[in-house]
């Protein structure tokens, strides 16, 4: 069956950097011939969940807009997943507002990662914040007023993942904010080696992988038709980690669900290319592992 193996007969799987990974469109042209890619119908969120399954509800790229959506915009479920870009520029007041909004949702668990727009989550951006008219001193003052040291501590109504894992109902969920360099935003890294180093931290036992950016080929078509997903991420997913689900956002126009025959890829971008929160949340049911 689909028994997971940590190691192949020859030892652990080592992913090699693709020499062409800086040109994702070109890599995908070659790769897609051997891919068994299918479009997947979105599940109706009104379908009742069965006892043997956990319902996941995916949103992403809400960019400080979902707080103003109708209260029934996000369907109920056991676990809410957010794949990053919760804010526009990482202002602590945007984060606090999002956290207050989370408190109004009925889900038993909420799991959130940051995206490139959530600038203040990335400590390496501290000296660059004024580029987005974010004042470092004001951020510090806000945190002090709220009695916390870091912006992630403002997220009290969810589990915040940053290159880390949480296990819910025996299901391993790993989250990571990094994406290929674009415009010098938060958690930007060069394609190739730099990206692969982060993906090498993802444990094989991951069942649901959340990254802000999509992998090449799955939910990563830019408005101009080019592919902008991460090559090293797709190789890591397909050759080493093999999660049953991958959740992303970031490329808003890549919203939707696809499959490679094993992993289901959900680009859950709530906002459209024009930053309007028009795309409905995407729902899936995950079978509860044996013994849970």
Contacts to ligand 5GP by CB under 6 A: 61, 85, 116-117, 180, 182, 222-223, 228, 250-253, 273
From the list ligand 5GP, Mn ion, none, partner contacted by residue 182 (C-beta under 5 to 8 A by kind): ligand 5GP
Q: Considering the complex, what minimum distance in angstroms separates the CB of residue 281 from ligand 5GP?
A: 17
Q: How many angstroms separate the CA atoms of 116 and 207, rounded?
A: 24
**Binding marks (x or -) toward Mn ion, 70..99, rule CB under 5 A?**
---------------x--------------
**Sequence-separated (6 or more) residues with CB below 8 Å from residue 274:** none
User: Residue 166 pairs with which residues in a beta bridge?
Assistant: 173
Q: Considering the complex, what minimum distance in angstroms separates the CB of residue 202 from Mn ion?
A: 9
Q: Considering the complex, what minimum distance in angstroms separates the CB of residue 252 from ligand 5GP?
A: 4
Say if CB 100 and CB 68 are below 8 A apart. no
Q: Identify which of residues 77 and 215 has a Cβ nearer to ligand 5GP in the complex.
A: 215
From the list Mn ion, ligand 5GP, none, partner contacted by residue 180 (C-beta under 5 to 8 A by kind): ligand 5GP
Q: Identify which of residues 35 and 172 has a Cβ nearer to Mn ion in the complex.
A: 172
From the list ligand 5GP, Mn ion, none, partner contacted by residue 251 (C-beta under 5 to 8 A by kind): ligand 5GP
Applying CB under 5 A, does 250 fall inside the site for Mn ion?
yes
> How would you classify the pairing of strands 171-176 and 164-168?
antiparallel
Say if CB 268 and CB 249 are below 8 A apart. yes
**Sequence-separated (6 or more) residues with CB below 8 Å from residue 276:** 65
From the list Mn ion, ligand 5GP, none, partner contacted by residue 242 (C-beta under 5 to 8 A by kind): Mn ion
Q: Identify which of residues 21 and 248 has a Cβ nearer to Mn ion in the complex.
A: 248
Of 61, 118, 122, 260, the one binding Mn ion by CB under 5 A: 61
| 88 closest CA partner among 59, 126, 62 | 62
Report the residue number whose CB is nearest to ligand 5GP. Answer: 182
Kindly state the tokens that stand for 150.
Answer: 């870091």
Which whole-number Å values give the CA distances from 41 to 44, 45, 198, in the listed order? Answer: 9, 12, 31
Q: Identify which of residues 4 and 276 has a Cβ nearer to Mn ion in the complex.
A: 4
Q: What is the DSSP letter of 216?
A: T
Q: Is 274 left (phi over 0), alpha (psi -120 to 50) or beta?
A: alpha
> How would you classify the pairing of strands 159-160 and 164-168?
unpaired
Of 62, 91, 116, 263, the one binding Mn ion by CB under 5 A: 116
Q: Which residues bind Mn ion (CB under 5 A)?
A: 4, 61, 85, 115-116, 204, 242, 250
């Amino acid at each position: 069956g689909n028994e997971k193996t940590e190691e192949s007969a020859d030892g652990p799987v080592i992913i090699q950097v693709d020499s062409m990974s800086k040109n994702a469109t070109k890599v995908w042209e070659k790769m897609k011939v051997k891919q068994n890619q299918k479009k997947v119908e979105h599940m109706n969120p009104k379908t009742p969940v069965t006892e043997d399954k956990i319902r996941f509800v995916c949103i992403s790229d809400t960019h400080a807009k979902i707080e103003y959506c109708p209260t029934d915009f996000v369907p109920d479920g056991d676990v809410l997943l957010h794949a990053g870009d919760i804010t526009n520029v990482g202002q602590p007041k945007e984060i606090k507002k999002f956290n207050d909004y989370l408190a109004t949702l009925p889900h038993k668990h909420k799991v959130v990662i940051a995206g490139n727009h959530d600038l203040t989550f990335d400590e390496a951006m501290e000296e660059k914040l004024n580029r987005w008219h974010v004042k470092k001193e004001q951020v510090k003052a806000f945190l002090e007023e709220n009695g916390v040291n870091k912006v992630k501590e403002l997220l009290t109504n969810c589990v915040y993942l940053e290159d880390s894992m949480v296990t819910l109902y025996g299901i391993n969920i790993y989250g990571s904010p990094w994406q290929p360099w674009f415009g010098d935003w938060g958690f930007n890294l060069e394609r190739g080696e730099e990206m692969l180093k982060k993906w090498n931290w993802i444990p094989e036992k991951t069942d649901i992988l959340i990254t802000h950016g999509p992998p090449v080929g799955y939910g990563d078509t830019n408005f101009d038709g080019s592919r902008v997903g991460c090559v090293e991420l797709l190789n890591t997913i397909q050759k080493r980690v093999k999660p049953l689900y991958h959740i992303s956002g970031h490329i808003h126009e890549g919203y939707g669900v696809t499959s490679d025959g094993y992993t289901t890829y959900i680009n859950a971008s709530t906002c459209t290319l024009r930053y309007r929160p028009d795309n409905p949340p995407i729902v899936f049911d995950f079978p509860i592992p044996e013994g849970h």
